[in-house]
Amino acid sequence: MPSGVVVLTDRRTAREPLDRVVAGAVAGGVRWVVLREKDLPRAERAALAADLRAILADAGGTLIVAGPDPLDGDAVHLPAAGPYPPPTHPLVGRSCHNQAELHRLTTEHYTTLSPVHPTRTKPGYGPPLGTERLHRLIQSSPTPVLALGGIETPAQVTACVKAGAVGVAVLGALMRADDPTEAATTLTSAFEEAVTPMTPTWRGGAQVSTTGLRPTVPTQGSSLTARSGHGRPQPPTATTEGKR
């Protein structure tokens, strides 16, 4: 289930090619990436998906594809407009913006709520929810929620976690970053610090664990060749009981 800092791609906004930006974000602790780029031809988009899956697989991460076509994977993120009912992939998310859209959720595994803040990526899109309304919507959501929209600072990450989000979906803060690794590290650290003493307010009551979110990830020599499938988040590292 997506949690922590989740990156949404935008090659037009990115300061470097997407594979480099994603590799940098992964080195900074990111384990979930949503591939957008819906305007690309399917073959080109599928090749890009394979490259990003390879980068994420080296760190035990997961690529989610925006739209109903998983591009040879098994995780998709759907728009609020459809399709309904959702496809039966192992991982399905959906964008929501209000109570009515939350009520339409059926078998989706998670949702995004947006925009939390004004966003440079979609200026004028809104009105912004703010963290108080975000909290109220999360309380009524049937699925875990990722906060999305205008989230660029550690303080904003912390506020979203306190509102009950299991993670934050970020685009501009990483796509526009001069150093994606540094930006990802800063935001991921803020999430970990905010979530450590807390249990999410989502009514399902699942505990979010940050254990293993940020294992050391080598950035040199990461394979960019096409691979089938994708990685899963790494399990928590076992501890030895009774060790003194």
**Whole-structure pTM value:** 0.80
With 60 as the cut, is the pLDDT of residue 226 above it? no
The amino acid at residue 132 is E
Q: What share of the chain is helix, strand, coil (3-state, %, to 5)?
A: 30, 15, 55
> CB–CB of 102/142 below 8 Å?
yes
Residue 225 in tokens: 């060749």
With 50 as the cut, is the pLDDT of residue 239 above it? no
Quickly state the pLDDT bin for 121 (edges 50, 70, 90): low
Q: What is the pLDDT of residue 196?
A: 85
